[in-house]
Amino acid sequence: MGTKGGRRRLGARAAVVVAVLALLATACGGDDGVDVNSVEESDASSSASGSESGSASGSEADAAAEDDTATDEEGDVEEESGSASGISEEEVAQTTENPLIQDAVDGYRVYVQEQISDMQAETKVFADAVRDGDIEATKAAYPVSRRPWERIEPIAGLIEDIDGAVDAREDDFDGPEDPNFTGWHKIEWYTWDQGDLTEAGPFADQLEADLQTLADTAETLDLAPGVLTVGAQELIEEVAAPDGKLSGEEDRYSGTDLYDFKANVEGSEALVDLLAPVLEEADPELLTAVESSFDELNGQLEVFGSFEAGYVHYDEVTEDQRGELAATLGGLAESLSLLNGALGLE
């Protein structure tokens, strides 16, 4: 893959970067105008409160952190496979004594609840448009309704069958017409590929019902700290997977992959934000690395639009640009894969 375009962009920013480096060389904490804030700006409706709860618990936590040294984190490590992907049941059952970690878990529970209620509200707009047979309104509501889902995808992994019901692709079935193919992408197919919503109504009803199941189940979920660390990484792995957003496989009829992409990044960022106070204690260098990778990635995504202004069709993202995104995602994923161990989790 060629990276010529990327080179030029990087080159143009070199001067700025050098200046930033100079600053950071003396104070590595200085860079933390991290972009969870800009996420809020561009998406006032849904993610703002989640991020706030993150920083709120963060500042309380700072105080608590003083007398709570790193010793906690070392103690309770047992031999485990260390598999970084896939949230296992042991991880769900995990508990921790570190109050900062507990704060993060509590904060995430709030975040998840907020995302789920946004998801239900935005999906109602979407489903109503489908039932009205209003193609244009459906097109507008589709990527919006998916954002909360994409932000909390790690949670979906904890609820049986939900992913297959609401987010499967036609590849898992006998083609798009297979009646067992349900969820967002089924309606996406009716909307963009068929241009006809006459038969889509029942799938909109079904989607809403499935999301209600998600909402009900999520309330009872036992969230272990590993869900947070591994979740932050998985959201990024998800983007880069060969059948993920980077390849444009996800929203193949609509080309709205960048909405999902951005939402995955936001979901991961929100997790890191919640874990920031404890990570600040355990491995501040890693925190800086992760946060600046997010900055870089968000800078790259900005070129393609925003939730408010809309994102370009994924076809418009060139091979070179995908290569640049892949490289940033790769670096970020390597860093995120260290979160779990850095926090002393199993």
Q: Name which of 68 and 76 has its Cβ closer to another protein.
A: 76
Q: Name which of 22 and 309 has its Cβ closer to another protein.
A: 22
The alpha carbon torsion through 218, 215, 57, 70 (nearest 10 deg) reads: 20
Q: Name which of 22 and 195 has its Cβ closer to another protein.
A: 22
Binding residue (CB under 8 A) for another protein from 99, 176, 201, 341: 341
Residue labelled with tokens 């079935």: 173
Q: Name which of 103 and 346 has its Cβ closer to another protein.
A: 346
Q: Judged by CB under 8 A, does residue 344 bind another protein?
A: yes
Q: Judged by CB under 8 A, does residue 93 bind another protein?
A: no
Alpha helices in 152-224 (DSSP H): 153-156, 162-166, 184-188, 201-219
Alpha helices in the chain (DSSP H): 4-26, 36-42, 48-66, 71-75, 89-93, 99-131, 135-151, 153-156, 162-166, 184-188, 201-219, 225-240, 257-282, 284-302, 319-336, 339-342
Which parts of 266-285 interact with another protein (CB under 8 A)? 285
Which parts of 67-86 interact with another protein (CB under 8 A)? 77-82, 84
Q: Judged by CB under 8 A, does residue 162 bind another protein?
A: no
Task: Report the interhelical angle of 319-336 vs 284-302 (nearest 10°).
Answer: 160
Q: Judged by CB under 8 A, does residue 7 bind another protein?
A: yes
DSSP classification of residue 315 = G
Q: Judged by CB under 8 A, does residue 10 bind another protein?
A: yes
Collect all residues with Cβ–Cβ distance below 8 Å to 100 and sequence separation of at least 6: 61, 64, 65, 68, 277, 278, 281
Of 135-143, 162-170, 240-248, 324-332, the window that binds another protein (rule: CB under 8 A) is 324-332
Number of residues counted as binding another protein (CB under 8 A)? 55
Binding residue (CB under 8 A) for another protein from 164, 201, 248, 299: 299
Give me the least distance between CB of 300 and another protein, in Å please: 9
Contact 61, 99 (CB under 8 A): yes
User: Using CB under 8 A as the criterion, which residues of the chain lie in contact with another protein when the complex forms?
Assistant: 1-3, 6-7, 10-11, 13-14, 16-18, 20-21, 24, 28, 31, 77-82, 84, 285-286, 288-293, 295-296, 299, 323-324, 326-328, 330-335, 337-338, 340-346
